[in-house]
Structures are given as C-alpha cells and as structure tokens.
Amino acid sequence: MIPYGRQDISQEDINAVIDVLKSDYLTQGPVVLAFEKAVSDYCEAKHAFAVNSATSALHIACLALGVGKGDLVWTSPITFVASANCALYCGADVDFVDIDPVSYNMSAISLEEKLVKAEKAGRLPKVVIPVHLAGQSCEMDKIHALGQKYEFHIIEDASHAIGGKYKNKAIGSCQYSDITVFSFHPVKIITTGEGGMCLTNDPQLAISLNRLRSHGIVRHPSEMTKLPDGPWYYQQIELGYNYRMTDIQAALGLSQMNRLDDFVSVRHSIAKRYNELLNEDWIELPWQHPDTYSGLHLYIIRVKKNTKGITHLQLFEKLRNAGILVNLHYIPVYRHPYYEAKGFEKQDFPNAESYYSEAISIPMFATLTESDQQFVADAIKKPIGHQNIF
Ligand SMILES: *Cc1c(COP(=O)(O)O)cnc(C)c1O
C-alpha cells in the first residue's frame, strides 16, 4: 500500500519527545514557547500561538477578528471543511469564491466580481480566508489590495504551506494578511500528531489569540479589569477555549522544524520526477505560479478527456485497486449535505465543479522512493483492461 501522504519521524524527533516526558511540563510550557519562536523566526512573523489543531487556530482567528452573528466569511470551495466551519462556529454565514482554473486556488478575479455584487447588495464579507491549496500561495498581493478597498480582514489558511514562499518571503510572514494558520496533522509538511498555529504581526490580535486558546483567562495585571485580589488571582475576561498544544507535541514540532527545508526540497524533487514520468497529453500536471515556491503538500493531477477512454473514476479505482491510496482534495465544501442544506448551487462554481470531476492527489511525501514513484506512474499509464498484470 502506498498512501497519498505520511509523516517522517526520525530518532531525533523521538528523543525530543522522550525528553519532554521526563521533564516537569507536559502541557503548554517552555517547549511550546520554543516551538512558537522557531516558527515565528522562520516565517519572520512577530507573534505565533500554538494550538491543538488548525481547526482550533481558524476558530480563534475568526473570533479574534470579531467574527460573529450576522457577519459573512468567504473562503474557497476547494478546501477541507474546517476552512468554512470556523465561521459557522462563530455564528457567522459562509459563502464561497470560485477557484482559478489553473492554480485551483481562490481566484482573485472571481473574488473581485463577487465583491462588486456584494457591495451593491450591501452584504460584504468581514473576513476572507484564502487557502494555499497543495502548498502553493494564493495571489496574496491582489487579494490584499481587494481587502484594502472593500475593508475585509484576511486569514490565510496555510495548512498545506509551511516551508513555502510567496514573492521570496516565507508563507506565514503575514505580509498580506491579518493572521496565517498552519496545520501539523501527520499528512501535512511537518507534524505534531495533532496541532496548529496562528501567526500575526498585530499586537492586539496577538493578545486575543493567546487569551482565546486558554479559556479567555488573563494572568497579567495589565490585562485585568481591576487590581488582583492576591497572588492567586487570574481573571476570565471573555469566553475562550482549551485549545492548548502540549509540550509533548511541541517537542516533535520543534524537532521537525530542523528538517522543514529538507522536507520541502525533497518534495520538489519528487514533483520534478513525476512531471517527467507523467508527461502525457491526457494528464494535466500541477502548474506553479512564478511568484510562488510551493510547500508541495499535495501533487494533484487532472484527468483530461482522452482517446484512451479512461475516465476520472476509472483511473481512481484502478489506482486504489493497485494499492495506491490516491485521494481527491477536495469534495467542494458546498456539496456536503450540511452545506447543501444552506442552499448553495453548484452552477455558481463552474471551475470548482470541473476540478472536482478531474482531480486526483497521487502519493506525495518525503519518504516516497523512486521505485514507488515509478510504480505509481506505470499504474497511471497502463491501459484500462490490463490491471490483471498487478
Ligand atoms: C488539514 C487542514 C485543516 C485542518 O487541520 P487540522 O490541524 O486537522 O485541524 C484546515 N484547512 C486545510 C486546508 C487543511 O488541509
């Protein structure tokens, strides 16, 4: 079996976790701080807050930006449901902006068209959440300029994208956004088992994010509404959550940060080899925008209409039957029954629909071998009806 993605855990990673298990702190402590510093230094962002998942990170990012009932949040339909659910957790409404047909990221052109209409209707979004699909940055300069014009905030869902760059700056620098979110789920570029992080350059947002991840509690007198009753004192000043990361997880993340650049460069070598092996007229290979250096979380091919008569579904089934655990990232969010019930119409998202009918994520992870890649490529190219060779 070859999965589409998996973690790479070294002996150093294991030792780092064991060290924490023998230390005084298991939950959020000094190693969480060190991990946050490693990521914020890497990304050149001022503040970083580790949490227990990217889903939690997206939730508190929305809350910190004041998203609430009656507000509107827009994201890409081609994403994991968490990018949209975060707005619903806050009582806001969600809508989707169709993707670019070439990069598969939220289209800046569709965004502008939708904003023009929304302004006329008096229903502009409070927050837009572009998702850097497969690790490739969205066109953040354009999205940011629209944010200035139409006065919305921006959360980058960079769950796929740590280690990537946009215009030669690390994704996570928040140069074009209020907050950037990373995921450290095991299939992502680096892992903490479960985990996520919020980065920001805004000192006010930093205070909110820090408070919201731990019950809305403050411990520093400067943040309290009155002088402390005594040395035991702390205050809950808003409704927060227990979204903290443990030091055990952070030790793994901190250790993995040492190999982040290697992970991403190996992914680039794997992509280059796939580009050569899969150079066929019926396969559309992933396109890279010249302003971006992708984290390459995913390698997504599209099955075009072809004279061989191989359909998207047939190729998918053929690969799964060969033990290659391909996937489809993603089912458009509006197609899930929970969202369908909100009245979304698929004809409003023609590029997402066309993508959904053609896309397949083939195996992409740092420990994928050359012979695995050859096996995957052969399985893709082998004509239908010859599967019995396997
Ligand atoms: C994985 C992922 C998330 C959620 O990450 P968790 O850490 O599993 O909560 C959110 N958005 C995108 C685009 C993802 O791929």
Condensed to tens digits (0 to 9), the pLDDT of residues 345-359 reads: 999 999 999 999 999
pLDDT band at 390 (very low <50, low <70, confident <90, very high): very low
249/361 same-domain check: no
pLDDT in tens, 20-40: 999 999 999 999 999 999 999
Q: Is residue 34 part of a domain?
A: yes
**Shared-domain flag, residues 36 and 58:** yes
Tokens 């820090």 correspond to: 210
Q: Is residue 387 part of a domain?
A: no
238 and 269, same domain (yes or no): no
- Asked if residue 390 is part of any domain, the answer here is no
Nearest atom within ligand 1 for CA of residue 57: 9
Global confidence as pTM: 0.97
Question: Residue 48 sits in a domain of what CATH number?
Answer: 3.40.640.10
Ligand 1 pocket check for 83: Cβ under 6 Å: yes
Range of the domain at 137: 2-257
**Residues 120 and 85 both lie in one domain:** yes
- Residue 84 Cα to ligand 1 midpoint, Å, equals 11
Nearest atom (ligand 1) to Cα of 79: 13
Q: Residue 79: CB within 6 Å of ligand 1?
A: yes
Integer angstrom CA distances of residue 13 from 39, 258, 332: 16, 10, 36
Predicted local confidence at residue 386, as pLDDT: 56
159 lines ligand 1 (CB under 6 A): yes
> 333 and 231 in one domain?
no
Q: Which atom of ligand 1 is nearest the CA belonging to 188?
A: 1
Instruction: State if residue 185 touches ligand 1 by the CB under 6 angstroms criterion.
Output: yes
- Asked if 76 and 35 sit in the same domain, the reply is yes
% of the chain surpassing 70 pLDDT: 98
Task: Tell me the C-alpha distance between 158 and 257, whole Å.
Answer: 16
**Residue 316 clears pLDDT 90, i.e. is over it:** yes
How far apart, in whole angstroms, are the C-alpha atoms of residue 86 and residue 126?
Answer: 13
Q: Is the CB of 192 under 6 A from ligand 1?
A: no
Residues 312 and 364 in one domain: yes
For residues 268 and 223, state if they share a domain. no
What value does the mean pLDDT take over residues 66-90? 98
3-state secondary structure 293-339: ECCCCCEEEEECCCCCCCCHHHHHHHHHHCCECCECCCCCHHHCHHH
Residues 47, 40: contact at Cβ < 8 Å?
Answer: yes
Q: What is the CATH number of the domain that holds 283?
A: 3.90.1150.10
270 and 200 both lie in a single domain:
no
Positive or negative, the Cα torsion across 163, 164, 169, 175? Answer: negative
Same domain, 28 and 58: yes
The verdict on 171 and 264 lying in the same domain is: no
Verify that 138 and 204 share a domain, yes or no.
Answer: yes
Average pLDDT of the segment spanning 113-123: 98
Q: Provide the domain count of the chain.
A: 2
Q: Whose CA is nearest to atom 5 of ligand 1?
A: 54
| Mean pLDDT, all residues of the chain | 96
